[in-house]
Chain A
Amino acid sequence: MVAASAMPQALSAVWRPLLTGIVLIGLIEAAKRGHLLPVFVPAPSEVVMEVWNVPRLVTANLGPTAWKAFVGYCIAAAIAICAGSIAVSLRVLYGPIYNFGVMIHSVPIIATAPLLALWLGTGPQVQIAIAALASQFPMLVGTIQGLQAADARQRELMHVLAASRWQMLRYLLIPSALPYLFAGLKIAAPSAVLGAITAEWAGAERGVGAMMLYALFSYDTPKVWLSVVLTCLLAGGGFGLWALVERFAIYWQRDVEIAD
């Protein structure tokens, strides 16, 4: 597909889920007004009123969480891409690095967050660290898979051309790694947000996670739901941003991307 038809296509991809969402919200609203829903399910309008009444609730909590998730994500991306590159170029370290990535990925965050708070102190550093730990794995795998994606023929071609190691990397290995890397970056973004929010439960003054915890303890269901909506917005936004960048960066696979 050429760029000219990309916009209408993006629109048609958006309007269906949007319509479904609006209808669904409308139905819940109607059901609540008709007293068909239990007391702990708030009407969507109540959630919106929370924001309307106290806008500071959103502005004061969304920013810190987004910022901490972003910093943790960037640190994780830098480390995962470096570690992945080392794993591919030094076969001896392939196993150890991969296994270490799996191990960190399997650690339950909810248990380690308080421990990290003890070790690192109760500041943003805990949430940043947890966001990094929670999001590293897809990016590590993406880097490792991606740098191995070039096929044997393509490598032979570069060899016959007498390409140096650096040229091999620049002209073949990095471009063929990009689709895998983008997949990893995309999947890791929501993980970083969820990691930061879970870490906020272990002690944070501000943030969506903190707001969620306070709301839970005070049985303030509209506020709980608001924090859920904010989490979804952050996580989905991170994913969507990368999907958008990917769409333009991986131009040679755009047709394939749309097809699936």
Chain B
Amino acid sequence: MSRDIQIDQVSMVFYGRGEPVIALDKVDMHIPAGQFAAIIGPSGCGKSTLLRLVADVMQPFAGTIALGGETPAAARHAHSLGFVFQAPTLLPWRSVTQNIELPLDVVGRRSARRSARTTADLIALVGLRGFEHALPHTLSGGMQQRVAIARALMLTPDILLLDEPFGALDEITRQRMNLELLRIWSESGTSALLVTHSIAEAVFMSDRVYVMSARPGRITSIIDVPLERPRRLEMMRTPVFFDCVNAVRDGLFGHEMTQAAGQGQPVEAY
């Protein structure tokens, strides 16, 4: 089963010292079941907040979120959510196998709705065969993050939420992990929502890219990526890919670029 993600007019306000901060301002989003969507935007645009709202870690200030017609809380209690954090967030006293099986321990091994996939399959899927009994601190950062992905897939979630999962990795490992992630995603058939800082990554991974602006966090443009599946690295050289990257870049810097063009100033963009 797969769930769609329906976000309607969601706003989020943080009250701290001083002025209340509007993290999200009337955000609308719809991700059809089984699709891969990415959110891109500058730091502080509320993209991680949006992900946490979907995961029911926080409640929205206004607006509604529906995951396959249910509230995030209901989806969470149905164990339908897989969340991968920026940092691996493994439990250091548990081995690779035990970390991956943590969701099973929580749900109860007997009542767990087990897919055809076993822990051994998952370990093979993320390429960690031979490290089943290793403790997290003996693994590299990339391997730890792969354990975290396998853990998120343990209960075959309907929705996979990815908060800059490879942000801490180097470009080469990151590229490889992205390909693996896409392979895993296409095999599992879940809906996926990825938060990222990288334009190329957002376009390469998703069917649709949401571009956000900061303070207040708003969706400024939506770019559909018509690249076929499965995605291959060669596609990053195609005109379609470049068009999408440019569209996202326009969404992120469009305002500054038109301004700079008028003044004859070089634009700082990557």
Tell me, rounded to whole Å, the shortest Cβ–Cβ distance linking A180 to chain B: 14
The docked-state distance in angstroms from the alpha carbon of A258 to that of B136 is 18
B164 in the interface (beta carbon within 8 A): no
B174 in the interface (beta carbon within 8 A): no
Contacts of B85 in A (CB 8 A): 153, 156-157
A48 in the interface (beta carbon within 8 A): no
A251 in the interface (beta carbon within 8 A): yes
The docked-state distance in angstroms from the alpha carbon of A251 to that of B55 is 33
Interface string of A139-180 (1 = CB under 8 A from B): 000000000000001101111111100010001100100000
Contacts of B107 in A (CB 8 A): 161
The docked-state distance in angstroms from the alpha carbon of A253 to that of B92 is 8
B91 in the interface (beta carbon within 8 A): yes
Option from B57, B92, B105, B135 in Cβ contact (under 8 Å) with A160 = B57
Contacts of B56 in A (CB 8 A): 159-160
Are A167 and B106 in contact, with the CB atoms below 8 A? Answer: yes
A255 in the interface (beta carbon within 8 A): yes
Tell me, rounded to whole Å, the shortest Cβ–Cβ distance linking B52 to chain A: 8
Are B57 and A252 in contact, with the CB atoms below 8 A? Answer: no
Contacts of A255 in B (CB 8 A): 137
Interface segment, B12-20, B73-81, B214-222, B250-258? B73-81
Are A161 and B91 in contact, with the CB atoms below 8 A? Answer: no
Tell me, rounded to whole Å, the shortest Cβ–Cβ distance linking A17 to chain B: 29
Closest to A150 in B: B91
Closest to A151 in B: B89
Contacts of B33 in A (CB 8 A): none
Contacts of B92 in A (CB 8 A): 252-253
Closest to B135 in A: A252
Contacts of B87 in A (CB 8 A): 153
Are A175 and B91 in contact, with the CB atoms below 8 A? Answer: yes
Most B CB within 10 A of own CB, among A161, A167, A251: A161
Contacts of B52 in A (CB 8 A): 156
Closest to A156 in B: B57
Option from B83, B93, B136, B137 in Cβ contact (under 8 Å) with A157 = B83
Tell me, rounded to whole Å, the shortest Cβ–Cβ distance linking A210 to chain B: 44
Tell me, rounded to whole Å, the shortest Cβ–Cβ distance linking A257 to chain B: 12
Interface residue ranges of B65-122 to A (CB < 8 Å): 76-77, 79, 81, 83, 85, 87, 89, 91-93, 102-103, 105-107
Interface string of A175-211 (1 = CB under 8 A from B): 1000000000000000000000000000000000000
Tell me, rounded to whole Å, the shortest Cβ–Cβ distance linking B56 to chain A: 7
Tell me, rounded to whole Å, the shortest Cβ–Cβ distance linking B106 to chain A: 5
The docked-state distance in angstroms from the alpha carbon of A96 to that of B79 is 39
The docked-state distance in angstroms from the alpha carbon of A157 to that of B85 is 9
Tell me, rounded to whole Å, the shortest Cβ–Cβ distance linking B66 to chain A: 18
Contacts of A156 in B (CB 8 A): 52, 55, 57, 83, 85
Are B106 and A252 in contact, with the CB atoms below 8 A? Answer: no
Are A157 and B106 in contact, with the CB atoms below 8 A? Answer: no
Interface residue ranges of A227-258 to B (CB < 8 Å): 251-253, 255
The docked-state distance in angstroms from the alpha carbon of A249 to that of B83 is 30
The docked-state distance in angstroms from the alpha carbon of A153 to that of B145 is 14
Tell me, rounded to whole Å, the shortest Cβ–Cβ distance linking B89 to chain A: 4
Closest to A167 in B: B106
Interface residue ranges of B204-258 to A (CB < 8 Å): none
Closest to A158 in B: B106
Tell me, rounded to whole Å, the shortest Cβ–Cβ distance linking B70 to chain A: 13
Are B106 and A163 in contact, with the CB atoms below 8 A? Answer: yes
The docked-state distance in angstroms from the alpha carbon of A226 to that of B99 is 52
A153-B89, A175-B93 known; A161+B103 contact, CB < 8 A: yes
The docked-state distance in angstroms from the alpha carbon of A186 to that of B109 is 37
A252-B135, A255-B137 known; A160+B55 contact, CB < 8 A: yes
Partner-A contacts on B (CB < 8 A): 52, 55-57, 76-77, 79, 81, 83, 85, 87, 89, 91-93, 102-103, 105-107, 135-137
New contact pairs (5) apart from A157-B83, A162-B106, A163-B106, CB-CB < 8 Å: A153-B87, A156-B55, A156-B85, A158-B106, A160-B81
Which are the 10 A-B pairs with shortest beta-carbon distances?
A153-B89, A160-B83, A252-B92, A252-B93, A161-B106, A163-B106, A162-B77, A175-B93, A162-B76, A160-B55
A-B contact pairs, 24 of them (CB 8 A): A153-B85, A154-B91, A156-B57, A156-B85, A157-B83, A157-B85, A157-B89, A160-B55, A160-B76, A160-B81, A160-B83, A161-B102, A162-B77, A162-B79, A162-B106, A167-B105, A171-B91, A171-B102, A171-B106, A175-B91, A175-B93, A251-B93, A252-B135, A252-B137
